[in-house]
Structure 1
Amino acid sequence: MVTKFIAIGLLGSALVALSDAAATKASQKAATTASPTVGGLLAVSSPAWLASITPIAGLPSGVPSGTVPSGALATSIPGFNLSAYPAGWKTPPTNSAEVAAVISALDWTKVPAAPTRKGKSNGDLVTTGYNENTDPFCWWSDTNCVKPKVDYLPEDIYHCPRPGDWGLTYDDGPFNPSDFSKLGDSPWAEPNLYNFLAAHDQKATLFYIGSNVVGFPAAAKRAIEDGLTICVHTWSHPQMTTMTNDQVVAELYWTLRAIKESTGVTPRCWRPPYGDVDDRVRAIAWQMGMRTVVWDEDTNDWNMPGDGGGNLSPNVVDGYFQGWIDAYKNGTDNASGHIVLEHELNNATVSMAEKWLPTLQTTFNVVPVHECMNISNPYWEDNFSYATENGSTISADSSSTDMSSALSTAPPAALETDNESGALSASASAADSKPSTSGSSVMTISTLSAVMTAFLAAACLM
């Protein structure tokens, strides 16, 4: 099966090379192109309501290659319409014409009627009264559920299927300087981490907060120029199950808009802050073109002393990294690879990331999430087609039969928890249980022509 799909992927690459003009035309039409419903999954399409958003000038037209940009980043970018966005780091209003257009475009009969959750004054979620045994809405914050209870949504992506893979992710970017009039006062702000990744020939997946993108669009532009993969992490970083349906739309919409305007791409991926998601929120995000990505290992780096940080000793975080390395080397960590939660949040998290990356590279196959999941097209723009581990050509809203090991039929026995919310206690021990690797799911293959579509569809039935 794997050989077959590798062969298909190579054929796809060859056809793409012979059809540059067709590929360009297809990418221009991406805003109105829908993926078909397969295996009962709800159809998902590129957000048509972003079609009118014009990206800034000078962006890559495809996966970049060659020299990585260097030097300080501009504090603003000509053409970026800052005045079009709501106030940063606040729940955005839901009565704007743009948000209303998205609300009216969604099929609300496909949004499960999970209640809007309540938060405590300390940031925890109120879980009282929720039936953990039946877990009717696959509420991650209560049960670590990653397989929706409705059959028209795909499973969350939560680990890399192949043992030895380290899915490298950073949340909460882009890291803005605290004072743009004195860029030197924030030496850990971007492009610090991006320069380090480039110097070590390392790609990663970045989960961007819309407010930070609007505050520092030059950093987002730099990320796409570096070939880093960008996903959505909401506008103001709330616990998403505490948001109303309309607020969920607004949190996702303004982030998608900011990313498209500053980078030229429309992500097919998002990560809920604190991991807080249920089927209601998943269904809204899915219809807005994005698949949910969580994690199975947590560094808890956000809680180290630093700018806006906590009081967790860096030695503890060092111990997490060393424990994961030791477990893989001694063979006790051999069930799957991992998606690891880190942050480009402040001086402490960036410093920790840079400290451990060289050692991780000598131990694991460190890759962005789309690569270990064999997703070649993490954006709705088809001209951004990235390398994958098995050479396949699929999109992030698809589920491949070759990816069944990463998409289990039952929730994992134990997942790491983003404890920024304090909703659950985290355990970063290398002895944690690993997710099940049984089960299968269906696949939608992203293609550039009718010929490719027909060929690949036939191949999947062999």
Structure 2
Amino acid sequence: MKKDQLLTRRRALLAGAAAAGAAGTAGVLAAGRGHGPARPAAPAAGAQAQSPLKPSAYRLQPLTGYGTPGTGPRRPAVRSEPILRMSGRGRTMMLTFDDGPDPHYTPEILDTLAEYDVHATFFVCGEMAGYYKDLLSRMADEGHVVGNHTWSHPLLTKLSRSRVRAEMESTCEIVEKTYGEPPRWFRAPYGAWNRAVFQLGAELGMEPLAWTVDSLDWTTPGTATIVDRVEDGAAPGVVVLSHDAGGDRSQTVRALRTYLPQLLDSGYHLTVPRRQQV
């Protein structure tokens, strides 16, 4: 029952924030940064109130203690705007999915990706990942990248620095325990970034990744519309944003089944982010 309440609350939050999220997206795509959307709608009636997260003491110096100096991965530099595109040559682009994992839609997306031997990036919410750890394990087994999308999908620009840290740390912790390694990529909910978000993400060893093509699938515009948006936006280096949770994602699932083989037939290579690409 608790899982059902969580899904209902998450779906209501994402639906209520739809218009605000669109405004935040436009700002991010135009300038690589933005002030973020308006405050999301309240959770659905009857949903249990979430107690404040406590900092998990998760690796505030996450990239130290790896043996002899210089042998461990480097902490990313603090950026002033998120990464919007991939670097590299050729017809290469990236598919990303936010807000999951979801027990209904994420497995169908993974099945389609496996059918075409394509890897994608999933920006997961720790709150969801805690319930569906098996899906993170499957992502690891099948070669997908798992990124950090906070614990409860809040509007980070309205939170205190300590709360932002707790949202990030808690998700880093569950991803590392379940996926097998800490997340190296972070995406702010609603595309709302500020200096604290960039700083804390870098402290935790994560690069901020946004997007260049928004499918707007959370508005449920119809499968054909989602397909058209992805195909019209396809170009070398683009990062496509879709969602595998937060509402009815059946259109997203059907759209992927249509545009993925068409992109491959057009000569595109679908890949995942790597540090040397940015």
- Compute the TM-score of the two structures, normalised by the length of structure 1: 0.43
Contact 1:168 1:366 in 2 (8 A): no
State the alpha-carbon separation in 2 of the partners of residues 190 and 298 from structure 1.
18
State the alpha-carbon separation in 1 of the partners of residues 197 and 101 from structure 2.
24
Which residue matches 1:282?
198
Q: SS of 1:235's equivalent? A: coil
State the alpha-carbon separation in 1 of the partners of residues 206 and 146 from structure 2.
12
Which residue matches 1:357?
260
Q: CA deviation at 1:232?
A: 0.7
State the alpha-carbon separation in 2 of the partners of residues 273 and 250 from structure 1.
15
Q: SS of 1:253's equivalent? A: helix
Question: Aligned match of 2:98 in 147, 168, 171?
Answer: 171
Q: 1:190 to 1:317 in 2, by over 3 A?
A: closer
Q: 1:101 to 1:259 in 2, by over 3 A?
A: closer
Contact 2:226 2:252 in 1 (8 A): no
Matched, 1:344 2:270: no
Q: 1:175 to 1:295 in 2, by over 3 A?
A: same
Contact 1:173 1:206 in 2 (8 A): yes
- Give 4+ residue runs of structure 1 displaced > 6 Å after superposition: none
Contact 1:191 1:219 in 2 (8 A): yes
Q: Which aligned pairs between 1:199-238 and structure 2 lie closer than 5 A?
A: 199-238=115-154
Q: SS of 2:96's equivalent? A: strand
State the alpha-carbon separation in 1 of the partners of residues 144 and 271 from structure 2.
8
Which residue matches 1:159?
85
Q: CA deviation at 1:365?
A: 2.6
Q: SS of 1:191's equivalent? A: helix
Q: SS of 1:359's equivalent? A: helix
Question: Aligned match of 1:298 in 214, 227, 232?
Answer: 214
Question: Aligned match of 2:177 in 249, 253, 261?
Answer: 261
Q: Which amino acid aligns with 1:343?
A: H
Question: Aligned match of 1:316 in 186, 210, 225?
Answer: 225
Q: Which aligned pairs between 1:46-445 and structure 2 lie closer than 5 A?
A: 93-94=52-53, 96=54, 99=55, 101=57, 105=60, 153-154=78-79, 156-161=82-87, 162=89, 164-176=91-103, 186=104, 189-304=105-220, 312-324=221-233, 336-345=236-245, 346-370=249-273, 375=274, 396=275
State the alpha-carbon separation in 1 of the partners of residues 48 and 254 from structure 2.
24
Larger helix fraction of residues: 2
State the alpha-carbon separation in 1 of the partners of residues 181 and 49 from structure 2.
24
Contact 1:174 1:219 in 2 (8 A): yes
State the alpha-carbon separation in 2 of the partners of residues 227 and 92 from structure 1.
34
Contact 2:144 2:272 in 1 (8 A): no
Q: SS of 2:211's equivalent? A: coil
Q: 1:281 to 1:90 in 2, by over 3 A?
A: farther
Q: CA deviation at 1:195?
A: 1.7
Q: Which amino acid aligns with 1:366?
A: H
Contact 1:166 1:337 in 2 (8 A): yes
Q: 1:292 to 1:91 in 2, by over 3 A?
A: farther
Q: SS of 1:170's equivalent? A: strand
Gaps of 5+ in 1: 1-87, 107-151, 177-185, 305-311, 329-335, 376-395, 407-462
Contact 2:92 2:271 in 1 (8 A): no
- Provide the alpha-carbon RMSD of the alignment: 2.6
Identity of aligned residues (%): 26
Q: Which amino acid aligns with 2:101?
A: P
Contact 1:213 1:258 in 2 (8 A): yes
Whichever of the two has the greater Rg, that structure is 1
1:268-299, CA deviations, whole angstroms, 9 ceiling, x for partnerless residues? Answer: 11111111111221111111221100011111
Q: Which amino acid aligns with 2:52?
A: P
State the alpha-carbon separation in 2 of the partners of residues 89 and 271 from structure 1.
26
Q: 1:313 to 1:201 in 2, by over 3 A?
A: closer
State the alpha-carbon separation in 2 of the partners of residues 235 and 280 from structure 1.
17
Q: SS of 2:99's equivalent? A: strand
1:45-90, CA deviations, whole angstroms, 9 ceiling, x for partnerless residues? Answer: xxxxxxxxxxxxxxxxxxxxxxxxxxxxxxxxxxxxxxxxxxx997
- Compute the TM-score of the two structures, normalised by the length of structure 2: 0.69
1:21-45, CA deviations, whole angstroms, 9 ceiling, x for partnerless residues? Answer: xxxxxxxxxxxxxxxxxxxxxxxxx
Contact 1:339 1:369 in 2 (8 A): no
Q: CA deviation at 1:368?
A: 2.8
Q: SS of 1:173's equivalent? A: coil
The answer to which structure, 1 or 2, has the higher relative contact order (CA under 8 A, 6+ apart) is 2
Q: Which amino acid aligns with 2:255?
A: M
